[in-house]
Chain A
């Protein structure tokens, strides 16, 4: 069964099956908005808050999702499988850490 996902920031909507993660379905549909990382619950870049709709969640790194986070439905999109239509807010960011560490400004994003 398929459900609809809404990315609140961008207004993007796409379909996601119950056995497909929110992140993989986004990538498959060609939509953008949630940063795409390891897709294994380990790197943390795809963190979202599910603001409405039921879901099940797979194992994800405690380094990125604390028990409090999980209670507030702040989870990794690559580990979230919808049980109803869901809306998400994007929390994860793709920091270009090498530059910020050196106290330098961001470099232009590659095309």
Chain B
């Protein structure tokens, strides 16, 4: 597929209730690279194999949760086009100047009907992954620091009106629906997984009465062995695990859910498959999410925390 328009998840800004505890978790346990701190005190991190300056920004606050989730688009002209498309659709957009986030160009922010702030941007300084561009080695020592995921992969957000949200992502931003879970009566969607790429999800939503909630930020590993190693490292560091290591039926991802020191859930996972926009979406019934193994294929149960614990 030609990669134009919205390219990929770019950055997330997360609220943590103790900044240094958060930094220790994401830098030393998860194994991200700290790339900067700004005048507001926000801390910037990236996964070792990401080339752009930052994919995670930590902000100290009196509550946990997510401030915004952003996608990188192809170029500044695409940013202008998508902004006018969003406005034509009826959404209000707001521009943030280059540099408001370190090493990041202008951002277009809009609120979606689930109560989340989504951003688009075209430019962020490429600081590289520590490897030369010409004749590179396959990895650096940073690949072995902590869990060491290769990238911020996607997020799962909880909020109301996900049918409206789906329309915005598919009709304006060029995403397509990859998988979904039906409501118990089968008349609507309780959960949707959408892609702007060849991935099983770039963003996902679950219908939920409280707006603006974070279920998890997800970080990609390359092998099942690395998922098991992640479980060992998280447990050695007394990080509370939620689910796994196991495999989701939905997306086929092999996963661990766990919580950071402020109670923001994160996922470390590998696998899935490579969907195309012409594929019919895979559908799970609501029972299929639990007894059908959609959430946890080996155990076939709907873990209580999946639908109830968010930040």
Contact = CB atoms under 8 A, between A and B. Distances in A.
A11 to B, nearest CB: 22
B38 interface: no
Interface residues of B, number: 39
B209 A38 contact: no
A68 to B, nearest CB: 15
Contacts of A38: 64, 240, 259, 263-265, 309, 311
A40 B65 contact: no
B207 A98 contact: yes
Contacts of A41: 17, 64, 262-263
B209 A100 contact: yes
Interface string B61-83: 01111000000000000000000
B207 A101 contact: yes
A111 B263 contact: no
Contact of A110 (B17, B207, B260, B304): B304
A104 B62 contact: no
Interface residues of A, number: 30
Interface string B166-198: 000000000000000001110010110000000
A97 B311 CA distance: 14
Given A40-B259, A40-B261, A45-B309, A63 B240 contact: no
A42 interface: yes
Contacts of B207: 98, 101-102
A109 B207 CA distance: 19
B240 A97 contact: no
A97 B17 contact: no
Contacts of B160: 101
A97 B307 contact: yes
Interface in B208-266: 208-210, 240, 259-265
B158 to A, nearest CB: 8
Contact of A97 (B64, B208, B261, B290): B208
A64 B206 CA distance: 21
Contacts of A107: 184, 286, 290, 302
Interface string A61-88: 1111000000000000000000000000
Interface in B260-311: 260-265, 286, 290, 301-305, 307-311
A41 B22 CA distance: 13
A19 to B, nearest CB: 12
B64 A40 contact: yes
A43 B310 contact: yes
Contacts of A36: 305
A104 B183 CA distance: 9
A37 interface: yes
Nearest to B18: A59
B208 A98 contact: yes
A100 to B, nearest CB: 7
Contacts of A98: 183, 190-191, 206-208, 307
Given A40-B262, A41-B17, A94 B304 contact: yes
Contact of B62 (A45, A62, A100, A110): A62
Contact of A42 (B65, B185, B308): B65
Contacts of B311: 38, 42-43, 61
A102 B191 CA distance: 12
A89 interface: no
B114 to A, nearest CB: 11
Contact of A63 (B63, B286, B303): B63
Contacts of A96: 307-308
Interface of A: 35-43, 45, 59-64, 94-102, 104, 107, 109-111
6 contacts: A38-B311, A43-B311, A95-B308, A96-B308, A98-B183, A100-B209
